[in-house]
Structure 1
């Protein structure tokens, strides 16, 4: 009873207004007057034809919109599309058919009797032609007669939300892009950190390639049935999207030139939303895409939307999900006492390496020499961490435990490029593998001592008599960065051509303040860049490479 009261309250008041204007015979003009007065009296509740309307709903409070189609056609086709932007909603379409006999009776008798007659007889003339409950995008297509008045009722029972409603009588135009006959997304490849997807082309892409693009949404929570719902999820986290990034996540249209600029680039919006990351990537009209930078052993949900860049309207493919592969457990290598091994990490396929050692003495020492890149070391003893550090140069860890303690060394690369490190474990502290190192491994050059054909360099020594070998290499300006970045600090002079060798000499000083040596390298070309290296050899014969120094000889002398 309450429902019929709400449906007919505006109709009842409107009929009173119509009767006061002396409605004549139930001709087509009287039908037109009926509809026109309704539009004027309740203009704020009228649903516009050919325009997408945003409707805000309060929890448990129904909201109603009315519409009547234009005169002159016996049967008028119309389409209504409703897009929930968050929680499931309930919505219905009701139709009231104002018959000629009903309007004729409204002219007779006193006004009070007429009003009662209208209110009592009206329910028999109303019918529900469609109802739906859910959060999917739903479209109703029907045919309307000129004497029909329609009401749309929306209700949200979970929380305040908003929806979009689109009414159109234009059967030729398409506000929303079309979906293919098979709107499913296919997963054609799964890796540890990537998933490759493909989908069938939208007919709209084939017809209007310049105005249509695909956008992919990735998250760890669930699939989204509309771009409107995805926008709500992103904005609920408090993220404010810049206008230039709101291409498909905003109900407002962008300037055409902004749209065209963004349609030619990949747009990626990343934001933390509740349980995980929401990422949107627009890739133009490509219908195959590999999603990068995913986490191993994680389930992701993928949604593809085809977007009309001119109207900002979109249609959703059927979402899918996939779980990335588990990260392969690194193979554990055994470390042998006193033996040095070199570990290479490529930063992509093998970022980690594990080494295992069982102690035969209470005191042991781990030695790490960084050869290239950046490497992090994590050492555990019987499952408990004892050391963790980013390695730079040469590093020693002296540890004391019990016999048969189990040590696990985990190495990880912190760069995408190749990294490598040498590792040794030893119980012989009195027999160091590497030579005694000076306070600094830097090579210094003297600008005032530079000439057109000679350069003077200096480096620090130690209190231990050691062998030092100097090497030089002629390089070009564009090679400087590459030479410094690709240098293998673990490689010795045996890997270099003999022509690059300058000299070798022994040197030490008991007084560290005076443990400095200089060398003048002659026979160089004027105005030329040279790369100088110094190698320090200890008792074991394993070299330590000083930091390379680049010096340019004078052009004019």
Structure 2
């Protein structure tokens, strides 16, 4: 009976833990869900400072709002943001007061705002009257009174921002990226508008065009800008099925990808930031581009290798190389995957002349008698860029030259690049490994790198990443053992053996051998998994 009760209590405890974890995940999801700015009609006639409020103007209506300044001879600015109609407005001192203050020219002027305007005044400890009129049509208006010198700091810094565009080849996408706001970056959300017609200076003008201008409801919520009434992020995958402008609010994220764009169509992108504390929504950046889904080939210089990030180009990169004076030399092309399997093809005048599949380590393509002055295109396609260790730096490095082979900076690799362990020489603190030397070199510069750990299945059974070997060699702190030396070999088919000391008993290590060409680059042999004996006792 006791055993049965214990089992029941154990199962109840497990169930309680799972429910608690599920509740925590649900709370986290709700907490970080991007929220669009929510605007409600401000019902008081007295305006607050450093907080954006919204009012609604009927066409031709004169609306009076008041602001009681608590400071004297200080800074005061008024920001007016319109939505669907220009707004005439003025900020004047109340002339009915018993102690009149001298008014500046700005206090006596009437301004016309078509999108967003900020005006600075000298603040007196008096009552101010804000007069607003919409001469053309009904509109919502956002108002922000600030006591910061020269206006809100966020508005001054927003004009320095630039939007970066990155073409994505899959599904004709375009990714827009931007830097975080310099003012309260943790408390700032972003909304992006995309249009095929024009740019927008205010977020609510895009909202008004997309959803129309509807007077506020009885509850006082502005339907044109209410979170409940706006489909901020269309659910459909095809942007063309959603009426422009597209309005996407992404919270604190600093990028957004627009799918299914039309070839040759010009698109306009406008970014708006909202401070969650003050509710101030302001213009943050703008750009436009004529969409071209074609990716321009990357130019190769004779004798210079070029690295390109596969993730940046959605796994497909095209290189181009113009052949100079041939002088009887072949065109040598070296393709080195960096954390990915590569399919490659070389084409001339639109016709494929050589193709390679599943390049794992490095491939050498030699084109005999290349056409002088011709442009060869090398297309590389990633079969899989999600291999272990690939990360964001998965890429491909390409080297091309029509010069003499003696000037190629890459070492010549043997036909077999495997590194083998001599098991009979295995000890508790050392192992002995062997490999074939680099052909054509009497003396080779080799480095042996040893790191404790095991090769996983994702490492594709020891296929090395050929990119960035020089920088890895400099970071000796990442290895348990590092040894570099010049090794002389007399015969082409001779085998190099090397004993690796200073290992621990009963441990597993990954061994990598790297060969470097004098005044050139490095290439790696296959990775090798070794194990030391568990005991150092002699029998």
Is the shorter-chain TM-score for this pair beyond 0.5, marking a shared fold? no
> Which of the two has greater helix per residue?
1
* Band of TM-score, shorter chain: 0.3 to 0.5
Higher radius of gyration, 1 or 2: 1
